[in-house]
Structure 1
Amino acid sequence: MSPVRVPPFYASPATWAVHIAIGGLKEDDAFAVRGKAGQVIPGLFACGEVRSGICGVDSIADGIAAGRTICA
């Protein structure tokens, strides 16, 4: 990591908490969220822990992959 030298600086406290809903959203391979009837919801994409409701040490990787797919 590199030091952050240019202000402004912001901080937020981090604590342990339950913050997921088991089950996640329904989405396709392009991360597009689908409604109850299976239709794509325009402009709504899932990434990170909301995709499956599974939280783990590598959950940020899911968000990185989603961002790259959405921006492609």
Structure 2
Amino acid sequence: MADDVDMANDAMLLQLEQQIAARQPAQGGAVAEDCEDCGEVIPEGRRLAMAGRGCTRCIECQGRHDRKRAVIYG
């Protein structure tokens, strides 16, 4: 069962995704139902927030992916 901190973190991450999606121009791309990294279902809120931009990873896996890219590309 998720505690208050987990729920607050999830809400913050979803809000951040929505803000990023609103700032960036649409890039197209499919929105997957399951994460390509972990195989878990991508929450509907994330899929809706990423509509038009494309989404193939859940929030947690996308965060790991972005951090790895930041290390590689600085």
Over alpha carbons, which structure has the higher Rg? Answer: 1
Q: TM-score, normalised by structure 2?
A: 0.28
Name the structure where helix makes up a greater proportion of residues. Answer: 2
TM-score (norm 1): 0.29
Structure with the larger strand share = 1
